[in-house]
Amino acid sequence: MDVTRDSSQRPDNLPKPFPPALPERSASGASPLAKVPAGSAGPADGGPATAPSAVVPGPSPARSADPRDPLETAAPETVELPGIGRPGAPAAATSRRPPRADQAVREHPATALPGWVALLVVLLGLAGAGYVLLRTGVVPHWDVLPDLRDAAARDGGRAEVDAPVVAVVGAAGLLVVFALAGLLANAGGETRVLTRWGRYRGTVRRTGLVWVNPLLRRRRVDVRLRHWRSEPVKVVDRTGTPIVVRLLIVWRVKDTARALLAIADHESYLREQVQAVLTRTASTLPCDSNSAPGPALRDGQWFADEMTRALAAEAAPAGLEVYSVQPLALDYAPEVAESMRRRRLADLDAGLRTVLVDDAVEAAALAVRRLERATAHELDEAARSALMEQLLVAFVAPAGVAASVPPPAARAGRKEGRPA
């Protein structure tokens, strides 16, 4: 039995909702494929309801028009799976909801000051501490500078240090250390997520030199546009044939709080979701449609668009935004590649022979009609058949091969059992 041929793809059971090339997605992010809720009713005349033949997830949470958090307003996703193998089979309904993250963990701006404010505080603290030390005589007086010592230090000739002086100098020193500890240089395309004792305190997206509370823990998160080329992933198509797919995913971190705090490792999560979404999407259609008519994974942009939409919906709860998923390679697995190549060549050769024979028959018939018009004499059925056979052999026979056609009398005698 040929395991590579899909017996369910008959003319009465074709996956019609999957055209070779689909139009662009709407602004709401919904896929143009057909979607029917679980409780959809049949036609008004009481006829049988038409079950959809595509597994279509709901709209992407990241593209929802609701101003609230899409994870808080998203309804459970209802998917109808049609019966396969016979028309009119009942459809099985399944309900699935994307993974949910902690709704309290959402990115918001943190309190941050420009870096020049902290530098000004440092200069003022150093100047204040130096002035106090000069007034008390702790710092020796230089003759080239004006005498800033007070009367007690000038008359006694030694430093006069008391408790208020120590307190002022200590406070100035602590202020300088506090201002310097909060300085950080935030490069473009990077953010700092601030936490204190495990609690989220905000995200700093301001670039350049900024100052934040030094008592907060700062963790860097890359928010630049990133691309990831996947390793060859082995999945199976709708016919059960193993295929190998390589993908290029373009993505970035959109919500830094969820990417860092709501999940252990957002990059590992994205890789696992790519594997799951690819397995689910590739099993929807066959890889090629050589023998049976209908759409395939290689047709148009449906495969890339469906992968992008499904992966974006799965990655949104983790604070990730997926821009595009493009297949770099779509090939059969090594164990079936040679047999599928021979099958493809056989199908192409059979199709080509059919076209050649049809063209030869039309050309021979046209030549016989022209001969009858040119000679003004209508051939009988036997002569017309013999001439058609000779023309067909001349048209179809390979070059350099001489093919002989027996005369009509010999064929008639062979049919009656007489020797030629």
Given a cut of 50, whether residue 4 has pLDDT beyond it is no
| Cα–Cα nearest to 150, from 162, 139, 160, 140 | 160
Half-sphere exposure at residue 127, Cβ-oriented, CA atoms within 13 angstroms: 6
Check if the beta carbon of residue 163 is closer than 8 Å to that of residue 171: no
Cα distances (Å, whole numbers) of residue 1 to 80, 84, 100, 303, 339: 31, 19, 45, 29, 14
Give the pLDDT of residue 322.
Answer: 95
In terms of Cβ atoms closer than 10 Å to its own Cβ (0-12, 13-18, 19+), residue 328 is: exposed
The H or E element spanning position 79 is: strand 77-81
Angstrom distance (rounded) from CA 311 to CA 275: 10
Give the pLDDT of residue 359.
Answer: 78
Q: What is the pLDDT of residues 311-351, one digit of tens each?
A: 999 999 899 999 999 999 998 888 887 777 777 776 666 66
Angstrom distance (rounded) from CA 342 to CA 139: 94
Could you tell me which residue, 68 or 186, shows the higher pLDDT? Answer: 186
Angstrom distance (rounded) from CA 360 to CA 362: 5
Q: Is 294 left (phi over 0), alpha (psi -120 to 50) or beta?
A: left
Weakest-pLDDT range from 132-136, 375-379, 410-414 = 410-414
Q: What is the pLDDT of residues 43-100, one digit of tens each?
A: 434 443 444 344 444 444 444 444 445 444 444 444 444 444 444 444 444 456 666 7
Query: pTM of this prediction?
Result: 0.59
